[in-house]
Amino acid sequence: MKSTLFYKQPKSLLNKGSGFLADYTHSLNPYTGCSFACSYCYVRQMPVSLFRGLDWGTWVDVKTEAATLLAKELSKAKAKGKVTIFMSSSTDPYQPAEYREKVTRSLLEVMADNPPDFLLVQTRSPLVTRDIDLLVQLGERVRVSMTVETDREDMRKLFSPQAPPIAARLKALERLAAAGVPTQATIAPALPSTEAFPDLLRPLVTRVCLDDFYMGDGSGGKRTSKNGIPALFSEAGLEEWAGPSAYRIVYKRLLRVFAPDEVKISQEGFAP
């Protein structure tokens, strides 16, 4: 499914961190909308999606002149104190539109010249490796958080068929680590996976963030339920993975190869 692109000039880019992102001073979204269209995405049930009048995943707003605006806002924010940025909270900064539009890259160029105190780049796209040159410049001020919900391609195709393959994401983590870019693997939301999943991650990262629908959708799982995810689990015969304690299956497996302080749960894992 191809998304229609709309070009809009935003009035602001840096939004005050709050709620799940209260550990950050600001959130930053290079785009509005997301063509990965993951079935469980909590943004589907937020006003930005509900009031759009178009199906989630079929449209993307490209924020024009974003770099110029960020340069001004970032300087003002830094003049007031510490600046920590979460990119992105309601879109993927490296969704397909980024190949051509390069909004995210332009924002990273601004931050490479005038670094925030910390930047978390949250994505599920291997395209992030294109910007290794800029990420390296940010040094320890940045962390790339690569979403890898499962090691099973059949689960990826069931829940997020338009998202990049799992193998490509793991390869991206390998490339980022080799370049010295701080990284973490983010199992969010935890989908059905194999016992060998942690063994795939162990050579690639020293930090894992584990989350689920109930802790991570901002509504105790209500948004996820409205998206029909419980029914999807049931139809696939995956009921044991649908409840609020299912993440513990993955947690126990992770502790077999990771130290307890290397595995962060939900909000803690996304914090600066």
Express each pLDDT in 155-170 by its tens digit.
999 999 999 999 999 9
- Alpha-carbon separation of residue 217 from 74, 153, 211 (angstroms): 28, 23, 9
- CA max distance for the chain: 54
Can you give the pLDDT at residue 236? 84
- Alpha-carbon separation of residue 188 from 66, 103, 185, 217 (angstroms): 28, 25, 9, 10
**What residues does 4 pair with on adjacent strands?**
59
Closest CA to 107 of 134, 78, 70: 70
Contact 104, 30 (CB under 8 A): yes
Cα torsion 171, 181, 157, 264: sign: positive
Residue recorded with tokens 């513990």 = 248
Contact 267, 23 (CB under 8 A): yes
**Per-residue model confidence as pLDDT tens for the chain (272 residues):** 689 999 999 999 999 998 889 999 999 999 999 999 888 887 887 778 787 889 999 999 999 999 999 999 999 999 999 999 999 999 999 999 999 999 999 999 999 999 999 999 999 999 999 999 999 999 999 999 999 999 999 999 999 999 999 999 999 999 999 999 999 999 999 999 999 999 999 999 999 999 998 885 555 656 666 667 788 888 889 988 988 889 999 999 999 999 999 999 999 999 99
Amino acid at residue number 123: T
Which pTM value belongs to this model? Answer: 0.94
- Could you count the other beta carbons within 10 Å of the beta carbon of residue 130? 17
Q: DSSP secondary-structure letter at 125?
A: -
